[in-house]
Structure 1
Amino acid sequence: MRGMARWRPGSTGRLQQAAIELFTENGYDATTVADIAERAGVTERTFFRHYGDKREVLFAGQQEFQASFVGAIADAPPGTTAMDLAARALDAACHALQEARGRDRARARYAVITAHAALQEREQLKLAVLARAVTGALSAHGIPDLRARLAGDLVVSVFSTAFERWIAPGTTRDLVDLQHEALAELADLAGTVTAA
């Protein structure tokens, strides 16, 4: 790797793409940081300037992803209902995810994660942190605590359901449309619940 530029433009994106390709081809455990750096055309030192370890490549952009939910809630007009805030957050995040990753890359990333127990745990932790962040944003917007907590969990559940449908083999539907459908189904289900 002598003569390789330390800071080539776009190295973050190339590292992410290289990692996904190698994890898919060889498996997560068999892929090393050196393999990823070589495939991306950068040094290992450059890899470690961007990521602490190979696992972090799969979870890059988590802060921005969370911010798309929280920002949509924060920007909503005062008095917006919890369900409308949830819908705004979901719309913003689904649009952002589609633009940032695309279906094929999201599908490949998800396949790598679901094939590895430790990565599945990390993904669940990411979703739990997201639910807490959404709950906090809802509370800051004036939604009562219990309702904010339920709505925060609902947002993550609807997103996860729509996302898994979006990356399913053969699916061509838009992620935003799928989340609208999931949210409508949940609202319909809630309308059928009767108090005991």
Structure 2
Amino acid sequence: MVERLASGRHHLSREEVTAHQKQRLFKALATVMTANGYSSTTVDDVIKEAKVSRATFYQHFDSKQDLFVAGYARMQRHVIDDILTVPEVGTPMQRFAAMLERYLGFIALDPATARLYLVEVYAAGPDAMRRRIELQQEFVAGVVEIFGARSDSDRFACEALVAGISTLVTHALSTGDADAVTGLYKPVLDYTDRVIGRAPVTDA
């Protein structure tokens, strides 16, 4: 839970105060937008939930979309940093299994917030969509590296796999059930083993 700073003197630096205010705004955005959706959420809704002034909001963000994109980038960095730190030992399938488990586990940890950024992103404009594509491409790059994909067809198989995982996760999030997300692990792993894991790697 993100608590409001007490009024008056405190011992936090300017940077710490800024970080705390932004964290409260991100938390408020997730709370309000989960209930109302992107289109029906206003800046007033967010600042009321975050208990900050309008001046404080615009000190950090230009608009609701700016806040959303910043929040998406924040989540993106957490996801990518986590899933790409897979062990460098083991078979490609073992390494992919570790990546998939971390990704699904991260999403299942907070399904409401994950749903906000993976579903509402479609209503948040081109900047947000670019962020989603960047996230997906970083995921693709990790899968390409794990399987040593070199040819165009191998790389396409990795890209199609990640796109499929994204679609399945988004659908599972629509139920709001974390178990539906983690339940994708075995079927996705089995599918990957059949389509990519056992396929010979070809040269470009």
Match of 2:47 among 11, 19, 37: 37
Give 1:194's aligned residue: none
Residues 85-94 or 129-138, more deviating: 129-138
For residues 117-172 of structure 1, the C-alpha deviation after alignment (integer angstroms, 9 at most, x for no partner) is: x44x556533432343234345555713233553244134224313422x233746
Percent sequence identity is 19
Cα offsets for 1:70-122 (capped at 9, x unmatched): 222xx321x632x43332211112222333xx2234345555445x2x44x55
- Does the 8 Å contact 1:162/1:182 carry over to 2? no
| Corresponding residue to 1:80 among 80, 91, 98 | 91
Listed as ranges, the matches of 1:170-189 within 5 Å are 171=177, 173=179, 175-185=181-191, 187-188=193-194
The answer on 1:70 being equivalent to 2:84 is yes
Write the distance in 1 (CA, Å) between the matches of 2:196 and 2:141: 23
List per-residue Cα deviations over 1:32-58 (Å, max 9, x = no partner).
Answer: 334412320123454356545322335
**Does the 8 A contact of 2:119 with 2:170 survive in 1?**
no
One-letter amino acid matched to 1:144: A
Secondary structure class of the residue paired with 2:175: coil
CA pair 172-22 structure 1, distance change in 2 beyond 3 A? closer
1:89 aligns with 2:99: yes
TM-score of the two chains, using structure 2 as the length reference = 0.63
Question: Is the counterpart of residue 129 in structure 1 residue 137 in structure 2?
Answer: no
CA contact (8 A) 1:131 1:156 kept: yes
Which runs of structure 2 are paired with 1:132-143 in the superposition (5 Å)?
132-138=137-143, 143=148
How many residue pairs get aligned? The number is: 180
Residues 1-196 of structure 1 mapped to structure 2, 5 A cutoff? 7=17, 10-23=20-33, 28-48=38-58, 51=61, 53-55=63-65, 56-57=67-68, 58-59=71-72, 60-72=74-86, 75-77=87-89, 80-81=91-92, 83-99=93-109, 102-108=110-116, 110=118, 112-113=120-121, 116=123, 118-119=124-125, 124-138=129-143, 143-146=148-151, 147-165=154-172, 167-169=173-175, 171=177, 173=179, 175-185=181-191, 187-188=193-194
Q: CA deviation at 1:68?
A: 1.9
Normalising by structure 1, we get a TM-score of 0.65
**Unaligned stretches of 5+ in structure 2?**
1-5, 9-13, 198-204
- AA aligned to 1:22 is V
